[in-house]
Structure 1
């Protein structure tokens, strides 16, 4: 009888997924389909429809640069706004209301893209609205997942984030296959309209779960944050005492513990700086690379079948390689190297990732050079570049997120995620500026013609790599997971790359 009671208690106490979870997962898959679907054809469409509709070789460089600039400015806005959206949700609206209302704005943006496929001004406005929608909800959606769990089912949190990540990749992979085909067969209205329909579906799915969500209410304006503390410290720098750090001046008006947390934020930001080199080039695989794919031999022969792949669909290989490498690196490569005594520290991963990023651009440089000299290189070369870039993404992007989480105090983890997305934004701003210079002609257009464009970014990344080799051994680290109680004043310099 006692054994039956114990068994019954075990059944009762078994962790269960919140009923709201399917709505969140479905919403994320549909939203990512809409975002990556429209991006898969964006640069190709802008060139063909607005900037070089006749395919003139004389206009090619400026037209490509103009389209690339708009694409990267779009991404810049989309990744700059999560930091703002997170604060608005935490201070004023709560996550549920912000996600719902901004999702409606998101849908409007997609509608504008579909409506103004022959009007550049209207289309650019649609891009801005989509960027506001995508960026406004980005930081809140993933945080909303965690809000659904409590002490009774915390053990399932890692599993749900696994499904959450799966939904992101499933949505993006399906869209990068389907939307370029739709664009080729049915034109831009449907190609931009279908992502809009999927975003409307995402909004509906999210709304249908409204009675099941755990809704954390807004907490009001919190003065103890990065913006307020930093501003105060900079405007009162004259009050700093000998031996104090710049931020210590804010310990009177602000919570001293929060000020110490800000020091951790700036330490991590020093590492984030080097990731700028990665993000300045990664999104080019969804912009510049699609233009090269359109001029390559896109015949795929697998022996048992053959087909011609659409230019915008080549980025699907990124998702495939990424999912393979995540498993391979975490369960094979990292443990193997650790056993050999080559400890795979976050900084070593980051440095290696930057080198691989440069190598992927070396491959693309040779491809671009072949195109410029009248050749039609095999698309397999671009697939090779995607494979190398995907490995770099695991080493830089995923490691960066891990580093942000482990090296920041609990109260600062959301801030660090927002700052990481800002790095993505600034990286795309760098690329947009370079393309703006090329578009304007002059020195940039003459010297970055053809494959010189890729070689410029190879050198750009190389400068960051060299700087990283000198600076990384001197970066101060504190892992708040393994060493949460060590005082900030006794942090030792790390001597491992």
Structure 2
């Protein structure tokens, strides 16, 4: 009798599919980033030429430039301070979809005001504030909304969709920083600010069109187990702290102990973020101060078969190009090369190196500005070189900072850490705005930071952070939540030397 065998039953896992909502989110992000970076590419130049020094009076140059730079950095400060607030409002009260939609409409109104009030400073400043509220209000929700669209059946596609999300950001900013400065030169400020408004309206329409396809996570209500409430409780109940207890441990009697430990992790990461403050105090100057220097440089480029002029606002395009080159170069070539030779490219080492490169990029700009002060007309390729060095620094500082925030904070605090990272960007721009405000006011600051002394001041500013970083970093306590185990339910802090 021939034996029969039961057929082997194999289950084939169905192929993962992207959610149908993804194209709407990607399209929305590309158009929104076009609007944001497009208007910024000509903002400082426009403020100087239209309001603060329209006659190009040499006696007014320093104060006019300082006033324009101050407004630009205050704008960025507001835009990057609000993601923390917007994220909380969405999580607690409105949900991400409603907040993104309603604030995007406000965003559009701000762009309309910029294009309408290009001849009046008060109206234009109000438009800047409204745009900053719009850009900042939705910033923390848009990227989180991407993750909300995925579930257990397609989690494997999440890294790919964030790759496309990042691509859309860079595509939008790259196209806008080429197109809008050209528009400004040939068609004036109304179109230069109007086109970004049209793109923001398009972004809103694209987002609204996908309304029936989104996974909409409802608001969760006010969550008391967060950094603000736990820190406030610890501050107001310090007298109840037992001997030997850490500052925040007293909050465990009224809050989830795991969340309290998470807040401790947040403060440890914030110590590292403090040093990134030096980077963000200067990075946005490549979109403000640097455009003013570029206007006076030799911007005619001869590449043999063609000869053309680069407009000042177009130079920031090089930052995007260099970033797209450097991210794979550092991840797949430079970091592995050092690691194989026993020089571990730890996050702290990357951050320290990035700060040194940031200072070097400002040395280059300082040399350029010194030449301009003496009547020279240096080639625009020197500023391209500065962008190259600053872009390498951005990979080492900005991307490393985001990675550090993710790996060194518990799951419950990762959104909080993203909001705090944006606050660091905000505070960095506040520092630059204050410095420019002091120059604008005249007196000692205006004399001390006249001309190229401005750059040398920031070189010294960064180097102070570098020196302190190399002294403090070997003593920093770190806790990697991806690789380090939890010991007895508590956070195990270990010291990794630089």
Which residue number corresponds to residue 492 of structure 1?
494
Measured in 1, the distance between the counterparts of 2:7 and 2:307 equals 62
Measured in 1, the distance between the counterparts of 2:95 and 2:350 equals 36
Measured in 2, the distance between the counterparts of 1:318 and 1:333 equals 19
RMSD: 1.2
More deviation, 249-258/211-220: 249-258
Which residue number corresponds to residue 3 of structure 2?
none
What does the per-residue CA deviation read over 1:86-137, in whole Å, with 9 as the maximum and x for residues that have no partner? 0000000000000000000000000000000000000000000000000000
How far did 1:252 drift? Answer: 1.0
Counterparts in 2 of 1:318 and 1:4: CA distance versus 1, 3 Å: farther
Which residue number corresponds to residue 14 of structure 1?
15
Any conservation in 1 of the 2:101–2:207 contact (CA below 8 Å)? yes
How far did 1:489 drift? Answer: 5.9
SS in 2 for 1:282: helix
What does the per-residue CA deviation read over 1:280-327, in whole Å, with 9 as the maximum and x for residues that have no partner? 000000000000000100012222322100000011000000110001
Alignment of 1:429-444 (within 5 A): 429-444=430-445
Which residue number corresponds to residue 146 of structure 1?
147
How far did 1:328 drift? Answer: 0.4
Alignment of 1:37-48 (within 5 A): 37-48=38-49
Alignment of 1:359-370 (within 5 A): 359-370=360-371
Measured in 2, the distance between the counterparts of 1:483 and 1:368 equals 48
What does the per-residue CA deviation read over 1:430-463, in whole Å, with 9 as the maximum and x for residues that have no partner? 0000000000001110010111100000000000
Which residue number corresponds to residue 249 of structure 1?
250
What does the per-residue CA deviation read over 1:36-76, in whole Å, with 9 as the maximum and x for residues that have no partner? 00000000000000000000000000000000000000000
Query: Is the counterpart of residue 97 in structure 1 residue 79 in structure 2?
Result: no
Which residue number corresponds to residue 408 of structure 1?
409
Measured in 2, the distance between the counterparts of 1:320 and 1:102 equals 30
Measured in 2, the distance between the counterparts of 1:206 and 1:493 equals 45
Aligned residues: 492
Measured in 2, the distance between the counterparts of 1:300 and 1:259 equals 57
SS in 1 for 2:477: coil
How far did 1:5 drift? Answer: 8.0
Query: Is the counterpart of residue 183 in structure 1 residue 190 in structure 2?
Result: no
Which residue number corresponds to residue 480 of structure 2?
479
Task: Give the TM-score of the pair, scaled to structure 1.
Answer: 0.98
Any conservation in 1 of the 2:486–2:492 contact (CA below 8 Å)? no
More deviation, 228-237/35-44: 228-237
SS in 1 for 2:308: strand
Measured in 1, the distance between the counterparts of 2:280 and 2:397 equals 9
Measured in 2, the distance between the counterparts of 1:242 and 1:183 equals 65
Counterparts in 2 of 1:3 and 1:453: CA distance versus 1, 3 Å: farther
Which residue number corresponds to residue 202 of structure 1?
203
What does the per-residue CA deviation read over 1:155-191, in whole Å, with 9 as the maximum and x for residues that have no partner? 0000000000000000000000000000001000000
Which residue number corresponds to residue 230 of structure 1?
231
Measured in 1, the distance between the counterparts of 2:200 and 2:439 equals 34
Task: Give the TM-score of the pair, scaled to structure 2.
Answer: 0.97
Query: Is the counterpart of residue 193 in structure 1 residue 194 in structure 2?
Result: yes
Which residue number corresponds to residue 88 of structure 1?
89
Any conservation in 1 of the 2:80–2:426 contact (CA below 8 Å)? yes
Which residue number corresponds to residue 342 of structure 2?
341
How far did 1:4 drift? Answer: 11
What does the per-residue CA deviation read over 1:225-282, in whole Å, with 9 as the maximum and x for residues that have no partner? 1111111111111211111111111111111110010000000000000000000000
Task: Give structure 1 stretches of 5+ with no counterpart.
Answer: none
Counterparts in 2 of 1:14 and 1:52: CA distance versus 1, 3 Å: same
Any conservation in 1 of the 2:479–2:491 contact (CA below 8 Å)? no
SS in 1 for 2:301: strand
Measured in 1, the distance between the counterparts of 2:68 and 2:122 equals 14
SS in 2 for 1:314: helix
Query: Is the counterpart of residue 74 in structure 1 residue 66 in structure 2?
Result: no
Which residue number corresponds to residue 264 of structure 1?
265
Which residue number corresponds to residue 312 of structure 1?
313
How far did 1:367 drift? Answer: 0.3
Measured in 2, the distance between the counterparts of 1:493 and 1:479 equals 11
SS in 2 for 1:315: helix
How far did 1:493 drift? Answer: 1.6
How far did 1:485 drift? Answer: 2.0
Any conservation in 1 of the 2:485–2:492 contact (CA below 8 Å)? no
Measured in 2, the distance between the counterparts of 1:457 and 1:486 equals 43
Which residue number corresponds to residue 124 of structure 1?
125
